[in-house]
Amino acid sequence: MYKVFVNNAPIILSTKKSVADCQTFPIKEVDFLKIIEDLIQNPDKKYHLYHKKEERLLAHLYTKLPVVYAGGGKVYNAKNEVLFIHRNGKWDLPKGKAERKEDIETAAIREVEEETGVTGLEVTKFLYKTFHVFKRNGEFRLKVTYWFEMKTAFNGTLTPQIEEDIHKVKWKNRKKTKKALKDSYANIKMLFSQDYLS
């Protein structure tokens, strides 16, 4: 099962023929743009798209919109604090688009460095892949973000990348992370265990 977020409203993709309380359509045939526009107007609506073969779900999804690949980091320091950025009025994790011919792990490290000023990053594991729809130059696109857990011994000055509308960069302990996640995005919350969200 996958979730594609339009703002904070998820479109569920699965191999099941129906999901409770959702309008269900075969992913192969659905008008994806209509669903996006409907969710922007009616964020409480629930949609489910299905295909009998799991591996075909993403293949069909990727034909519906132009795809942008990005890499991001859930970064821990020596005190086990998590690195957050504040952009567009929400707490977020650093991430950004991969450049041409750049592998996704390299892109994730580069974007964390550029957006926060943090260096000495080491990837410890791949975490998750998230999907969300955004609009650029009047056109909807699908952003597929590969998230990596990272660690660093960096204890220097945090530098927000102002030209990317990042106005704050903060290390947050467990208590402050829980608070930040209340004012974050649904796809970011997926990267944290349930006890952070309750």
pLDDT tier at 193, thresholds 50, 70, 90: confident
Residue 179 has pLDDT above 80, yes or no: yes
pLDDT of residue 69: 96
The model's pTM is 0.92
pLDDT tier at 181, thresholds 50, 70, 90: very high
CATH code for residues 67-197:
3.90.79.10
pLDDT of residue 18: 87
Reading the block at residue 150, the tokens are 């990272």
pLDDT of residue 115: 98
Domain spans of the chain? 2-64, 67-197
- Count of alpha carbons within 13 angstroms of residue 159, beta-carbon side: 10
Average of pLDDT values for 130-136?
A: 94
pLDDT of residue 58: 92
Residue 103 has pLDDT above 70, yes or no: yes
Residue 195 has pLDDT above 80, yes or no: no
Average of pLDDT values for 170-174?
A: 96
Residue 198 has pLDDT above 80, yes or no: no
